[in-house]
Structure 1
């Protein structure tokens, strides 16, 4: 997800959720503090959009479907996050149409400023969700996709150009290249190096 800005003043959960319905800016909520989300790069949007489209087409007519980064996920009673992409199902228990509580798949597109949080604090929150089956981390500056699965005790499996990624939670297998379609690879030396080796 995009980098976070400085926290604003303390807010209650109810006030935070009410504010999110009216605000043009999106904020994450952590223990009474709110953090503004900054904008995302073209590469970030292409990656998230590509995967959303692939999942949406695969899940047509099924009970689970993808949601974009404008949908909140409640990770604890006092923490609300905006994943770049998540898959939720019709039986999600949330009574709030702006919040989901039981995603089966969460995806974060990484940048230099989000690596640490996405791999530590947010990862811990996501993996603690009983519903979650897979957590996916996608680099935007190099072509690398990391999938962590509950079925594998959250061990990291790495995917590079020339290989396919299987999202077991929804039964979808896609080439790494499809996730990076239209991504500007002028500075992605690893993309070409790994891609050449794979071919």
Structure 2
């Protein structure tokens, strides 16, 4: 079934499941939002981070999931009818009880969004606010054009911006202390 735009319709995860295979939408507070087609640089960053996170987490409880991987948020833990359904570029989930056939129920431990020109506003405002509201412990915003990484850490329900890293830096996670990402390698991957 294709998505029929209707200002009065409040979409949920059940609608998401009925949409055509391969459709690239997310749901923000019940409204469908079209996802951008990623660039090579975008996918290079996602691929590099997926490999690095995967190697770092090997043998641990935490697992890394690149997009497409569905994350569902619900105010009342009704994940079958969640009205916030996202496909972050990368999700790290440390609680296996959050995983089901369709993805993750509730907040991953760490989420990475790689900016695209058409989705930058959503990643910086809508998703930032949703990830903060639903308790994502650490949120990375990667800007492949300006070659920066902003790390936000949840502290008593509010994001505090940690470091802002550039191409020449070693990027560190607050949650995974021994994890180090070399900015030069990440931003040049796929070039």
TM over 0.5: yes
Per the alignment, residue 111 of structure 2 pairs with 106
The yes-or-no answer on 1:52 pairing with 2:59 is no
* Number of corresponding residues: 176
Superposition CA RMSD, Å: 2.3
Normalising by structure 2, what TM-score?
0.81
Between stretches 70-79 and 140-149, larger displacement belongs to: 70-79
- The 8 Å contact of residues 89 and 112 in structure 2, kept in 1 or not, is answered as yes
**Matches of 1:104 and 1:7 in 2, distance apart?**
33
Deviation of residue 178 (structure 1)? 2.3
Per the alignment, residue 173 of structure 1 pairs with 180
Q: Deviations over 1:37-76 (max 9, x none)?
A: 2311000000111001000011111100111111111133
**Matches of 1:150 and 1:119 in 2, distance apart?**
15
* 3-state secondary structure, aligned to 1:23: coil
Where does structure 1 lack aligned partners over 5 or more consecutive residues? 1-5, 185-199
Between stretches 150-159 and 70-79, larger displacement belongs to: 150-159
Deviation of residue 156 (structure 1)? 4.2
Where does structure 2 lack aligned partners over 5 or more consecutive residues? 75-81
* 3-state secondary structure, aligned to 2:50: helix
Deviation of residue 30 (structure 1)? 2.6
Per the alignment, residue 143 of structure 1 pairs with 147
Per the alignment, residue 13 of structure 1 pairs with 12
* 3-state secondary structure, aligned to 2:48: helix
Per the alignment, residue 155 of structure 1 pairs with 161
**Matches of 1:14 and 1:49 in 2, distance apart?**
27
Deviation of residue 129 (structure 1)? 2.2
Deviation of residue 17 (structure 1)? 3.8
**Matches of 2:103 and 2:59 in 1, distance apart?**
22
**Matches of 2:4 and 2:125 in 1, distance apart?**
19
